[in-house]
Amino acid sequence: MSNILHVGLNCIEPILDMPTTRSIPNKRWHLAFTAIYSSRALYSLVNQKKKSRKLPVPSNLSFVVLNVKPSAFSSNDHTTLTAIVNEKNFNKLLEFGGIEGVADALETCIKNGIDGSVNDVALRQEAFGSNTYQRAPAKRLFHFVVEAFKDLTILILIFCAALSLGFGIKENGAKEGWYDGGSIFVAVFLVISVSAVSNFRQNKQFEKLSKVSNNIKVDVVRNRRRQQIPIFEVVVGDVVCLKIGDQVPADGLFLDGHSLQVDESSMTGESDHVEINSHHNPFLFSGTKVADGYAQMLVTSVGMKTTWGVMMSTISQDTNEQTPLQARLNKLTSSIGKAGLAVAFLVLVALLVRYFTGNTEDENGNREFNGSNTKADDIVNSVVRIIAAAVTIVVVAIPEGLPLAVTLTLAYSMKRMMADQAMVRKLSACETMGSATTICTDKTGTLTLNQMKVTKFWLGQDPIEDSSLISTDLLNLIQQGVALNTTGSVYRATSGSNYEFSGSPTEKAILSWAVLELDMEMEILIKDFTILHVEAFNSEKKRSGVSIRSEADHNTVHVHWKGAAEMILAMCSSYYDASGRMKDMDDGERMKFEQIIQGMAASSLRCIAFAHKQIPEEEHEIRETSQKLEEDSLTLIGLVGIKDPCRPGVRKAVEDCQYAGVNVKMITGDNVFTARAIATECGILRPDQGINNEAVVEGEVFRNYTPEERIEKVDKIRVMARSSPLDKLLMVQCLKQKGHVVAVTGDGTNDAPALKEADIGLSMGIQGTEVAKECSDIIILDDNFASVATVLKWGRCVYNNIQKFIQFQLTVNVAALVINFVAAISAGEVPLTAVQLLWVNLIMDTLGALALATEQPTKELMERPPMGRTEPLITNIMWRNLGAQALYQIVVLLTLQFKGDSIFGVNEKVKDTLIFNTFVLCQVFNEFNARKLEKKNVFKGIRKNKLFLGIIGITIILQVVMVEFLKKFADTERLNWGQWGACLGIAAISWPLGWVVKCISVSKKPFLSYLRW
């Protein structure tokens, strides 16, 4: 007991050892906290004496401190703190000890963050919960089974199956009477099973994608080191770094930062941005977005204890998104269904008339209906059989495989696109991308590697190779401008270890250059200066500024600016030369600097300028009221050129898109010379397309065009430099007005309007902000333009696969409908029974969809022009192909129907089996024809598609089983080798027929232009 007490007292020592500089409220808060903790500790020690025998106290006291101290912050205290943050109660926060008091209670160092060890994080998760949300339970397989049962056709079939089963057992006994009804039940069961499992698997895939998309990376400071962790690993007490575009990962308090503006519309519905500061409103909420500025926050609540967590627990994600193609297919299905219903009704009437007029015979050649002599059971049974046949025609007529084919091809393509570094957030983007005519792409990180390095440095008008030649005063100014005007940071674990740089790629490049080449000591500079005001960088201003005061000189304020070279140059009236002397900048000197900037830009370098101004404290105090930094009469310190090499393979990807008829336009914030150099290197521009050509414009010039001029010139533009987000939005709007299907890439918060406006928004997975990702349809996980080209290829593949299946499915529908209708009207019987038609429906709808929907993209897809917005779903080429095949099948099968017994010398039962077998094998052979809509060689690349070959093999095996072994179930007779050969021979003719038909040219005008699916 004494050992435990000794440990407990050791745990309290850090709390008692308080600095004497604390304010009176803080002292009171800490004394009260210590008293409460001591009484709780003594009470718990007495109560847990038995537990201590089972769990011996480790000798490592630091571990014991971690194990005990979180319990000091009781659940009541945490509940109170959570309520204070939720209610934005600033006065109660002060009573609680202020932000510093909360940080102390949570064992967080405001500067260095939490300890961050495995034990520390585990204890915090145990005490305060993890940063995860309880979502509504996922839909189980049973839900999709129930949904499948809601199909009216399925319900009618079940009703008919029940009647058929009942009357069959009553008439023929349980041993043989269940065949007709039971076979319909089995077929219905298979259809429901396939449909439910397919939808269930798609739902599971959406859930996986949702988890990936929600796993945001968050910058935190732990044990002095800034690092990225998944959002789910954020714990109470963490110090989180926020910048423009970030999502706030948890509820918390503002610690430090500048110009922080937060978009709380997701919480409050108000579109106005809320200013966050430590004086009046330090409260930050999970799920909100940083609109401007940067900051550090202290996490006070995570997961279900946040306001966002409570909201999210009530929301269930609906993955039943219907894409435009699915909507068009539903209209097509509805139209075909109506036609099928009409045919089924005519067949029903014809069969009923023939039955009740005594024109039908049973298996023994006896008349089925003999007026009052016929038993009621026989009449009902015959009527049920006739109704079942009519309903089955409806089932075959309705191409239920179309929605399934869309689901399968979208699910398959989404999975493959994920492997190709593209995560689909909205299903409709898959198919829309196939119609894209223009891609507007960023430069940095998309066309380039985003691996930036400072390769050029100019002081005055001289390039500097050796930093030792720079004067001490000028070197100090450069180091101040880099270390204090940045959102990045530098970390070094020990004096001998490597530096770790964090921030944007540009910030990291400049910091690494200053630290490694200019010997900058960032921590010392931060201690020696006080930051007074910050103007954060954003893509509109293209610069950032800071005002600082030296701890050694309180009478002078230094203003530092950093940003796009030509913009900073315009703010300067003087410059420092290499020796550190200040010189006036006249027009001639300014022109020389402009030439230096253009020279670096022409070498594909991003040019950044540093400028400085020293102002008296009195003047700063006057300007402080306007919260604006000095922007004129600055002195240029120097210029740096940052190299960001083009990605390997990007030129080929651009050429592939252009070859496919898709225009690629580059929209960048860099100056016009850098933009032109990169665009030429990537193949977007030809070398002869200069700056004065209409192919290259600046954002401001484009913005100042009249609407008519923009519409006229937008097609000619290949590169837009120095563009703002508004310029990108204007270009997208102009392109859409001209009928283009536009895909846009974006990574910044300000890209959100353009991403939303575009037909397909593509955000960047690495550099993209959370705001950009939420506004996009597809996330490019590796930020690579080659992945954008891959998405284009997959989009076309999705559309093409659907068209293949439509052609295949409609051939089956047309042939089955015509054959049954003609036979029913003329002969009074249906050659294809209910079970046989359901079998055809099953294998053609499900296995056929699976075979054709999983074809991979081919080079041929990128050789054709994009599909327009108004192009019909069923093209003239498809009508030609399916019309020829359906006509061939109808002629052959009707010939077998009326002359088959005499041709083959077989009885009625064998003839019907021949018709059924030939019909199925025709579909198997036609499945090969459907692989290529235009190309004559339908076998090209078939060995690569193992799934297609496997499905063909399974279909043939199942057909053999149906014919040879399930005689009573399928109502078939065994066939001999000769008859099988005849069936195969008739079916195989569809291959040469398909080759001949593809030689026939068709007009471009839609065959059914008056129909709009």
pLDDT of residue 555: 81
pLDDT tens readout for residues 509-553: 999 999 999 999 998 999 999 988 888 887 777 899 999 999 888
Kindly state the percentage of the chain with pLDDT values over 90.
27
Res. 268 pLDDT band, cuts 50 70 90: low
Beta-sheet strands, E only, within 832-874: none
Beta bridge partners of 547: 533, 559
Please write down the long-range contacts of 731-736, taking CB distance under 8 Å and 24 or more positions apart. 731/440, 731/665, 731/667, 731/702, 732/440, 732/757, 732/758, 733/757, 734/710, 735/438, 735/440
H or E, element range at 479: helix 472-483
Query: What average pLDDT does this structure show over 26-40?
Result: 43
Q: State the Cα–Cα distance between residues 942 and 949, nearest whole angstrom.
A: 8
Q: Does residue 7 surpass a pLDDT of 50?
A: no
pLDDT of residue 20: 40
Q: What is the DSSP string of 371-411?
A: GGGS-HHHHHHHHHHHHHHHHHHHHHHS-THHHHHHHHHHH
Say whether 50 sits in a helix, a strand or coil.
helix
Question: Residue for token digits 């009553």?
Answer: 170
Say whether 295 sits in a helix, a strand or coil.
strand
Q: Which residue has the higher pLDDT, 410 or 281?
A: 281
Contact 527, 548 (CB under 8 A): no
Q: Does residue 636 surpass a pLDDT of 80?
A: yes
Take residue 192 and report the two structure tokens written for it: 């429901």
Lowest mean pLDDT, pick from 230-244, 370-384, 911-925? 370-384
Q: State the Cα–Cα distance between residues 587 and 567, nearest whole angstrom.
A: 16
Q: Does residue 57 surpass a pLDDT of 50?
A: no
For strands 696-698 and 719-721, give the pairing.
parallel
Q: Please report which residue ranges of 905-989 form alpha helices under DSSP H.
A: 908-929, 946-964, 967-970, 977-988
- Give catalytic residues, as residue numbers: 442
Q: State the Cα–Cα distance between residues 454 and 509, nearest whole angstrom.
A: 6
Count of helix runs (H) and strand runs (E) in the chain: 39, 26
Highest mean pLDDT among 25-29, 292-296, 329-333, 429-433: 292-296
Q: State the Cα–Cα distance between residues 925 and 906, nearest whole angstrom.
A: 25
pLDDT of residue 70: 47
pLDDT of residue 6: 40
Neighbours of 876 (CB within 10 A): 17
Q: State the Cα–Cα distance between residues 209 and 189, nearest whole angstrom.
A: 30
Res. 1006 pLDDT band, cuts 50 70 90: low
Alpha carbon of residue 693 to chain centroid: 37
Res. 76 pLDDT band, cuts 50 70 90: low
Q: State the Cα–Cα distance between residues 247 and 751, nearest whole angstrom.
A: 16
Neighbours of 982 (CB within 10 A): 18
Query: What average pLDDT does this structure show over 819-830?
Result: 76
Q: State the Cα–Cα distance between residues 913 and 919, nearest whole angstrom.
A: 10
Beta bridge partners of 638: 610
Query: What average pLDDT does this structure show over 240-248?
Result: 88
Neighbours of 521 (CB within 10 A): 14
Contact 565, 607 (CB under 8 A): yes
Q: Does residue 52 surpass a pLDDT of 50?
A: no
pLDDT tens readout for residues 428-455: 788 788 889 999 998 887 888 888 999 9
Alpha carbon of residue 682 to chain centroid: 26
DSSP structure class, residue 18: -
Instruction: Return the HEC string of 88-137.
Output: CCHHHHHHCCHHHHHHHHCCCECCCEECCCHHHHHHHHHHHCCCCCCCCC
Q: Which residue has the higher pLDDT, 914 or 205?
A: 914
Res. 255 pLDDT band, cuts 50 70 90: very high
Take residue 839 and report the two structure tokens written for it: 């079998």
For strands 663-667 and 438-441, give the pairing.
parallel
DSSP structure class, residue 518: S
Lowest mean pLDDT, pick from 107-121, 285-299, 565-579, 827-841? 827-841
Q: State the Cα–Cα distance between residues 174 and 181, nearest whole angstrom.
A: 11
Backbone angles phi, psi at 534, to 5 degrees: -130, 135
Contact 540, 700 (CB under 8 A): no
Q: Does residue 151 surpass a pLDDT of 80?
A: no
Instruction: Return the HEC string of 621-633.
Output: HHHHCCCCCCCCC
Contact 896, 911 (CB under 8 A): yes
Q: Does residue 316 surpass a pLDDT of 60?
A: no
Res. 799 pLDDT band, cuts 50 70 90: confident
DSSP structure class, residue 300: E
Query: What average pLDDT does this structure show over 386-392?
Result: 73
Contact 226, 486 (CB under 8 A): no
Q: Which residue has the higher pLDDT, 859 or 481?
A: 481
DSSP structure class, residue 303: G
Res. 332 pLDDT band, cuts 50 70 90: confident
Res. 705 pLDDT band, cuts 50 70 90: very high
Contact 189, 149 (CB under 8 A): no
Contact 443, 678 (CB under 8 A): yes
Res. 23 pLDDT band, cuts 50 70 90: very low
Whole-number mean pLDDT of the chain? 81
Q: Does residue 882 surpass a pLDDT of 60?
A: yes
Query: What average pLDDT does this structure show over 931-949?
Result: 87
Q: Does residue 69 surpass a pLDDT of 80?
A: no
What Å distances lie between residue 887 and 133, 169, 195, 891, 892, CA to CA? 58, 40, 30, 6, 9
Res. 213 pLDDT band, cuts 50 70 90: low
Q: Does residue 144 surpass a pLDDT of 80?
A: yes
Take residue 780 and report the two structure tokens written for it: 């490019």
